[in-house]
Amino acid sequence: MKVLVMNAGSSSLKYQLYDMRDETVLASGRVERIGMDSSIVTHEVPGHPEVRDVSEILDHVTAVKRVADMIVHPSHGVLKDIKEIDAVGHRVVHGGEVFKESVLVTQEVKLEIRKLFDLAPLHNPAHMMGITAVEANLPDVPQAVVFDTAFHQTMPQTAYLYPIPTVLYRRHKIRRYGFHGTSHHYVSDQAAEVLGKPLASIKMISCHIGNGASITAIQGGKSVDTSMGLTPLEGLMMGTRSGDLDPAIVPFTMNKEELTLSEVNSMLNKHSGLLAISGISSDMREIVQAMDEGDRNAQLAFDMYTYRMRKYIGAYAAAMNGVDAIVFTAGVGENSERLRAAVCKGLTFLGVELDTFLNSEHSKSARIISTADSKVQVLVVPTNEELLIARDTYKLVKEQSNK
Amino acid sequence: MTVRKVGVVGIGTMGQGIAEMLAYKGLEVLVIEESSEKMAHAIEMIEHSLDKQIEKWALTQAEKKLVLNRIHTADKLSDMAQCELVIETITEDLNNKIKVFEEIDQYCSPDVILASNTSTLSLTELASATKYPERVIGLHFIHPVSKIDLVEIVRGLKTSEDTFNRTKHFVEEIIQKKGIMVFESPGFVTSRLICLHINEALHVLEEGVATADDIDRAMRVGYSFQYGPFEMADRFGLDSVLAALEIMFREYGELKYRPSIVLKKMVRAGHLGVKTGVGFFKYDKDGDRL
């Protein structure tokens, strides 16, 4: 069974082709600059050099067609016939309150995704274009959608409601949704496997620390709280996003600086976080380097970043009345031993004891980095959202064909 | 048909705003101006405007680069043949505009929409200079273009339904502004109402009823205008306000459109508002009030 995983953006499209018999990646790639006369398709087959092709790709339908052409290409293709693809799985950012798990695409599902355009105006319309483009190119292939928000739908009302007039929740569905759900879900499964314990018995805090960052409290395999909210702006300090702040700062600043709504939005999303405090970069590697060279602002940015992470871990340990495992994942979480060390240093009261040697080891596999005596296990688990999308898609399509 | 490349003919204050807004929305923009000095100045002004937005956190350096990369300069009108839509935005002079329309009409294939940003002149008259008058339409943007989400879509006598529908789609779906349909008439809706508002404020000032500052404050605080009539006129350019009033006075023949003497005097003195640093009030290089 071959599953194509797709992540469609407004002017880009990323894909992976999986052979689900052994979960290997047969090919992967991306289409960039869709809508231009010089769009770039980059296609890679493991063990072979990357292939690049520049041509005019004006819409997603053509983009998917080019991807299909690459996959069956006589020299760098991996399939003889595009009909060998059994299913396509899409990443969709916002599933609202309707989608609590991955589903097969139907007319009703498409309608619901459309209804959610309001909540994810930058993402959901692009995902929809991806879905219709696959329909146009591969009309008989079943498609599934996997939502970034679905994993967090298990949160109780106490966690997902905001203490503001409830009419806003009823009218506009203003509540906490949380994001990176696919990643938190995937790493929690992996972590339980590494720990050799049933997920149901573990209180876990997973830290997805990349360009965007979120922390999730996972009890018995279910998300019970997460740091991102209605939008991905809430929670941790991030590369260019502010994360939590006093909401009164927004009208106060708008008034003082005569800012419009879109200006203040852009300020909080693109001009804040590590970039704002360090004045150097939004990239943690560059922050650490500058810090080592004695840059005080970089040091401050790093300290604020890790301090805010620690506060969330403390809060979620309290929310679950304890914690058995802390998991680090995504770009920064997987690669920055400095960040992990700084966060864990102040968590000894919880019984966290980091093994400095294990923490400094570089590896691509899921592993424990706390000492044997540590009361709380600390893990690094590389995330793989695409694989989870492929697995969900495979499962859904198989279930349907068994019916 | 989707629009990917838009031509902008004439790149003064409005042309700059239109080109910058189109590029910000992700469209390729081809601009043309009569001299290379004017062109260089215009590009500099667009950069300056983007820098001001970065200061206000509205843009990032990377986004500024992307916007500028989408603005290309042309050196002859025939280059406009590459565009799916051409917007003319030269100064409000009927004869010059007619010349431009005559020329681009020859270069652009008949399905290309030719739009004018005129606020007071007759679309029908401009269209009559072309072989395909049904593809001529008015697109009246309001200054500052990047912030004001309203466009008057103006139908001349011969503008076709198809041209109107495609233009409306462009305005509402591609550049995401509100489009209102107006039929050709001097000043349309916005210029007609706002110029009368400014002209009446000038009469109030002339009669010594209140100071310019107080008149502005009254309208700003009392009726939620962002700027009072005088600062508004300074920002439009007093010469443009005068030109609009004169055209409307001529066309309608009604006294209420007759430009105030104070306005004429200030234009003659070269006090044109923000662009010369002095009008009813004084402004710095960035256009902020001193």
Q: What is the CATH number of the domain that holds A16?
A: 3.30.420.40
**A253 and A381 both lie in a single domain:** yes
| Cα(A52)–Cα(A50) distance, integer angstroms | 7
A203 and A82 share one domain: no
Nearest CA distance, A241 vs chain B (angstrom):
12
Question: Could you tell me what percent of chain B has a pLDDT over 90?
Answer: 83
User: In terms of domains, do A213 and A292 share one?
Assistant: yes
Contacts of A58 in chain B (CB under 8 A): 2, 4
Q: Are residues A206 and A100 in the same domain?
A: no
Q: Which residues form the domain of A339? A: 196-385
pLDDT-based confidence at residue B286 (cuts at 50, 70, 90): confident
Query: What are the tokens at A375?
Result: 């009361």
User: Is residue A178, in this structure, part of any structural domain at all?
Assistant: no
- How high does pLDDT run on average in chain B? 93
Cβ–Cβ contact B4 with A under 8 A? yes
Verify that A137 and A200 share a domain, yes or no. no
Nearest to A353 by CA among A371, A334, A340: A371
Task: Quote the pLDDT of residue B200.
Answer: 97
Task: Give CA–CA dist A223/A219, Å, rounded.
Answer: 6
Among candidate residues A183, A204, A203, the one with its CA nearest the CA of residue A332 = A183
Question: Could you give the residue numbers annotated as active site of A?
Answer: 148
Give the model's pLDDT for residue B116: 96
Nearest CA in chain A to B1: A58
Whether A161 is in a domain gets the answer no
Q: Domains in chain A: how many in total?
A: 2
Residue A91 and residue A223 in one domain: no
- In this prediction the pTM is 0.85
Instruction: Give the HSE-up count for residue B287: Cα atoms under 13 Å, Cβ half-sphere.
Output: 15
Whether the per-residue pLDDT at B120 is higher than 90: the answer is: no
Residue A44 lies in a domain: yes
- Nearest residue of A to residue B58 by CA position? A263
Residue A380 lies inside a defined structural domain of this protein: yes
Is A76 within a domain?
yes
Structure confidence at residue B283 (pLDDT): 95
pLDDT tens over chain A, length 403 residues: 899 999 998 888 999 999 999 999 999 999 998 877 788 999 999 989 999 999 888 889 999 999 999 999 998 889 999 999 999 999 999 999 999 999 999 999 999 999 898 888 778 999 999 999 999 999 999 999 999 999 999 999 999 999 999 999 999 999 999 999 999 999 999 999 999 999 999 999 999 999 899 999 999 999 999 999 999 999 999 999 999 999 999 999 999 998 988 899 999 999 999 999 999 999 999 999 999 999 999 999 999 999 999 999 999 999 999 999 999 999 999 999 999 999 999 999 999 999 999 999 988 899 999 999 999 999 999 999 999 999 999 999 999 888 7
Q: Do the annotations mark residue A7 as ligand-binding?
A: yes
Is residue A159 assigned to a domain?
no
Tell me: do A132 and A200 sit in the same domain. Answer: no
Q: How confident is the model at residue B117 (pLDDT cuts 50, 70, 90)?
A: very high
What pLDDT does B1 receive?
58
pLDDT of residue B212: 96
Annotated binding-site members of B? 49, 56, 119
Smallest Cβ–Cβ distance between A259 and the set B4, B56, B60 belongs to: B56
Is A57 at the interface with chain B, CB within 8 A? Answer: no
For residue A271, which of B224, B60, B278 has the smallest C-alpha distance?
B60
Q: What is the 3-state secondary structure (H, E, C) of B95-123?
A: HHHHHHHHHHHHHCCCCCEEEECCCCCCH
- Residue A188 falls inside a structural domain: no
Q: For residues A129 and A232, state if they share a domain.
A: no
- Residue of B21, B56, B63, B148 best to disrupt the A interface, most CBs of A under 10 A: B56
| Cβ-Cβ contacts under 8 Å, A11 against chain B | 26
Closest CA–CA distance from residue A333 to any residue of chain B (Å):
26
Q: Is residue A288 part of a domain?
A: yes
d(CA B265, CA B263): 5
C-alpha distance across the termini of chain B, in Å? 47
pLDDT at A18: 96
Nearest to A117 by CA among A89, A145, A94: A94
**Residue A76: is it exposed, middle or buried by C-beta count within 10 angstroms (0-12/13-18/19+)?**
middle
Q: Assess whether A225 and A128 both reside in one domain.
A: no
For B221-243, what is the mean pLDDT?
94
Do A204 and A132 fall into the same domain? no
Predicted confidence band at B121 (pLDDT cuts at 50, 70, 90)? confident
- At residue A402, the pLDDT reads 84
Residues 6+ apart with CB under 8 A from B147: A260
A241 and A94 in one domain? Answer: no
C-alpha A68/C-alpha A88 separation (Å) is 12
Q: What is the dihedral of CA A105, A106, A112, A118, to 10 degrees?
A: 50
> Do A124 and A213 fall into the same domain?
no
Q: Does B147 touch chain A (CB under 8 A)?
A: yes
Tell me if chain B has a CB within 8 Å of the CB of A26.
Answer: no
From the CA of A370, how many Å to the nearest CA of chain B? 40
Helix locations, A220-351, DSSP H: 249-257, 261-270, 273-278, 284-292, 296-319, 330-335, 337-345
